[in-house]
Amino acid sequence: MKTPLPRIALFLTAATLPLLALGSSHREAPFIAGTPRVDGTDFYMFRSYESGREGYVTLIANYLPLQDAYGGPNYFALDEKALYEIHIDNNGDAREDITFQFRFDDMYKNLTVPAGGKNVAVPLINIGQVDTNAANLNMSQSYSVAIVRGNRRGSIPQLLGNATSGGDRFQKPADNIGNKSIPDYASYAGNFIYSANIPGCSTPARVFAGQRKEGFVVNLGEVFDLVNTNPAGPRDGEPNTIADKNVTTLALEVPISCLTRSSEPVIGGWTTASLRQVRLINPKPSSPRRTTVEAGAWTQVSRLGSPLVNEVVVGLPDKDRFNGSEPRDDGQFATYVTNPTLPVLLNVLFGNAAIPPQTPRNDLVAAFLTGVPGLNQPANVRAAEMLRLNTSIAPTPVAAQKDLGVLGGDNAGFPNGRRPVDDVVDIELRVAQGVLCSAALKCGDQTADPNNGIPYTDGSRAAGPTAATSMVSGAVFAADTYLDTFPYLATPLPGSPNEAAY
């Protein structure tokens, strides 16, 4: 990796995911915008950089976007009638070889208080301080995690064992209601990180499912207001518009040896969410669990591999189709990669300050569908969109991580997998504008970047892991920091008090 190839590599994978977005994949398609509990928002896959955990890969799948911390009284439970999945392809054929399935169950206590001589059910999720015993918690969720090897619909799932407390069930912590209900949320949530036994894997994994601080960073409002900002200005000159949001995280830390094949260190990954094909609404539900009746086959409604693909690459008519598709069928979306529209739109807005590269974009095809040779392309690869990670590349210690990933000289960052700190918006914006165009990776007839390496940016940048100071004088970026331990995304914002976050 001592040649310029890694830099090209990074941008190739990123290139297919151009530009700017509401979130990495937040509300990106017409159907999923109306079903937020199964909306996959971000997918992270990286070699663990927590001290002593370098032999593991961390998989983080986020769902249910743009959560306001004060969004009570029901807050943000996941859908117990949905199937949440993380898929791994470990031989390059664009088919899942390993799938981790998360299923959630609602538990209602129907807590009551005496009111006028009668015990009356309360309307709130808690009636006192919440701790791990959950005595005052009116509604909670537990979940199972299963592994499926081979076809996710044709093979038998095997449940992971809870090596911390026994059995095969895990508990999800309550969302961060506020400091009066949960005075020390970080400590409280830490009790829900479990050691887990994976069938067929001799080394335990770790698992966590619960609310986290939104880790994606973007200058949201200005971006969608016809890019009402300076795309060549300072990287840290604008606030992170979604710094006041939370998200729900499904996190797994799995030994590398349990994910890879002996002869192939590169794995591909993506997430999905599925619902039953038929949902009937009960006009007279007798309890929260009887509001609908589900039937039929599992039907995929959300999909996410590399960030921003469906958000800003796939055209509006095909967004729902992409969410229901599988990587092996991605040839149907090839035109959106070879002839991307966002560089054209930016040229309309900014003229010669944003010259669109010529088409067809062969540079984007390489990154979007195959991974980058010499970085994260498997030996035998079938073209398909997914996040790819070369597990033979050691993790970069926290203090040395570069948020531009491979572009910044950090081969353990995006597009070689994705870490929370990686600034995928800036990376992909530069790729979309042609930073990878070269003799080896032509853009039409062009063999050089038509924009001469202009450092395009949305102007919003996060602080790094465990950083304690603002990156911009007078601006509050400390809330965008990350943890340097599993599950890596920061403690969610509390519903109360919340003035500091807004």
Write the DSSP assignment of 127-184 as a string of letters. SS---TT-TTBSEEEEEEEEEEES-TTTS--EEPEETTTSSS-EEEPPP---TTTSTT
CB 426 within 8 A of CB 7: no
Closest to 21 measured CA to CA, from 402, 303, 310, 349: 310
Closest to 247 measured CA to CA, from 448, 482, 445: 482
The tens place of each residue's pLDDT in the chain, 502 residues long, gives 333 333 333 333 333 333 333 345 565 556 777 889 999 999 999 999 999 999 999 999 999 999 999 999 999 999 999 999 999 999 999 999 999 999 999 999 999 999 999 999 999 999 999 999 999 999 999 999 999 999 999 999 999 999 999 999 999 999 999 999 999 999 999 999 999 999 999 999 999 999 999 999 988 778 778 888 898 999 988 888 888 999 999 999 999 999 999 899 999 999 999 999 999 998 988 888 788 899 999 999 999 998 888 777 888 898 889 889 999 999 899 899 889 998 999 999 999 999 999 999 988 877 777 888 889 999 999 989 999 999 999 999 998 999 999 889 999 999 999 999 999 999 989 888 998 898 988 999 999 999 999 999 999 998 767 543 333 333 333 456 899 999 999 999 999 997 644 4
Query: What is the identity of the amino acid at 419?
Result: R
The whole-number pLDDT of residue 98 equals 98
Q: Determine the length of the chain.
A: 502
Q: Helix crossing, 5-15 with 424-432: angle to 10°?
A: 90
Token duo for residue 458:
């949305």
The whole-number pLDDT of residue 7 equals 35
The whole-number pLDDT of residue 490 equals 95
Whole-structure pTM value:
0.90
CA distances to 77, 82, 161, 194 from 204, in Å: 27, 26, 9, 10
The whole-number pLDDT of residue 470 equals 30
**158-159 and 161-162 beta bridge pairing:** unpaired
The whole-number pLDDT of residue 498 equals 73
The whole-number pLDDT of residue 28 equals 53
| Chain-centre distance for alpha carbon 317 | 23
Closest to 21 measured CA to CA, from 239, 211, 241, 300: 241
DSSP conformation letters of 335-356: HHHHS-SHHHHHHHHHGGGSPP
The whole-number pLDDT of residue 24 equals 54
The whole-number pLDDT of residue 481 equals 84
